[in-house]
Structure 1
Amino acid sequence: MIWQWIFILGGASVLFFLITAAERARLRKLLDRPCAGIHWHRRFPTVKHDDIREFLALFTEAFAFDSIHRSKFSPDDQPMALYDARYIPHLTMDDHCEFESLDEVLKSRYRFDLSSEWHKDITLGELFALTQLTSTPRATKLS
């Protein structure tokens, strides 16, 4: 009986490892690229560096990316493509509610409703531009 449990747990561990390795491989192009700050400043030349950095910090937190990678996101990145890269259909079982988290952060920080502007090809640059059109943001605590 104990060998059956060891076999089951071993198999589950191997499956978890393989899924995690596949996720990392799918995200490798993103995680290995250099800082995209120049792209943000070319697209938004009048916006303060700290405003862009804060938006990216909120995005990476909502999407559960490590904060050290926030500067690698470009204004042309699509949240839906990042989501698809992270989750392997029919293999990855959990959804970390990234879009719900992002909607919540945008509402609380920028008073912006993601659902009112959402389309599957929306980019981070479009989202950031929309946050700049909303009323003065409220203070927020970043972790």
Structure 2
Amino acid sequence: MLTPQRATPADYPELIAIWARSVAATHQFLQPADREAIQRALPQYFAQVTLVKWQLGTTTVGFSGTAATDLVMLFLDPAYFRRGYGQTIVQTLIAEDNLQTVTVNAQNPGALAFYRRQGFHLVSRFETDTDGRPYPILNLKR
């Protein structure tokens, strides 16, 4: 059974490693310098959200970051892709935290399709990410 646990700064190295593996598998559009800059900034991003690591026993399969009813980040270790864990996490966040919105990279069509299957639809698009990098962002709502 997948269980949530509030993450702490002591968990950051593990979560950053999961992020790096997940991004390598899904975010080929990122330029290497941008990927490195984002990775260095993750501790600051983590501190701005409610950060939860999702565990299967003692193994962390991924993590989520929310701000109020917005899913800001969801990353799974690629070893756990396509096993229903992402859906379980999103459905849990909907049921327990009233998740209403999600932000996704436009250049990640797999993530967009995933969120659409979870009942989200496009409400807006921005041509750059929040740091001004040239990666279009889609805002979705349930």
TM above 0.5, yes or no, is no
Larger Rg: 1
TM-score w.r.t. the length of structure 1 is: 0.31
Return the TM-score normalized by structure 2: 0.31
Higher RCO structure, 1 or 2 (CA under 8 Å, sep 6+): 1
